[in-house]
Amino acid sequence: MEDPLVQSCQEISKTIREYIENDNDLSSWLHTRYASWEVVPAGFLRRLSTLLFVACHALLSSQPEEEPGRTGIPLASLKETLGENSPAQIFAVLHSSPDFDDLTDAQELWIISTGVTNVRALYWSRLRHAATEILTKILAWEGPDCSTEDLVHPEHS
């Protein structure tokens, strides 16, 4: 049986991804980046969603457990986790989890994050930039106290 924390984080990253896909401004911003960075849109968005999942897992695993089926976290905290931690710190708990072996997207992202080649390092930096920039934009639109639960019925869009 899958860890409830993993399930919650998957739901949270899915919520953010759906918000991005349904918001014209964010979609347009991302499409501009896809073109200038010369990345495949579907693959980049999937990895972006995976990065949000991994950051969410890092954030929630470091906090006292309030509810096992938790579905929302403050976006400002998620942005802080992405901006202030190294890849090793972001992946630490998930990488040592027995569930990691079943999370192929997270494994792929871990390999990218190691930055062994210049291409991987550049791709990783673009993923982190995109994730933090998107969270910054959402926080500006939805307010500094916005949580992922607020994205289900956003006021913006």
**pLDDT truncated to tens, each residue of the chain (157 aa)?**
478 889 989 999 999 999 999 999 999 999 999 999 999 999 999 999 999 999 999 999 887 665 544 557 899 999 999 999 999 999 999 999 888 999 999 999 999 999 889 999 999 999 999 999 999 999 999 999 999 888 876 555 4
HSE-up of residue 144 (Cα within 13 Å, Cβ side): 1
Query: Exposed, middle or buried by CB within 10 Å (0-12, 13-18, 19+), for 131?
Result: buried
Buried residues in 74-103 as b, exposed as e (16+ CB within 10 A): bbbbbbebbeebebeebbbbbeebeebeeb
Single-letter code of the amino acid located at 113: S
What's the pLDDT at 151? 86
Q: Domain residues of the chain, as ranges?
A: 4-152
Contacts of residue 109, Cβ cutoff 8 Å, sequence gap at least 6: 47, 50, 51, 54, 127
Query: Rounded to an integer, what distance in angstroms lies between the CA atom of residue 2 and that of residue 58?
Result: 17
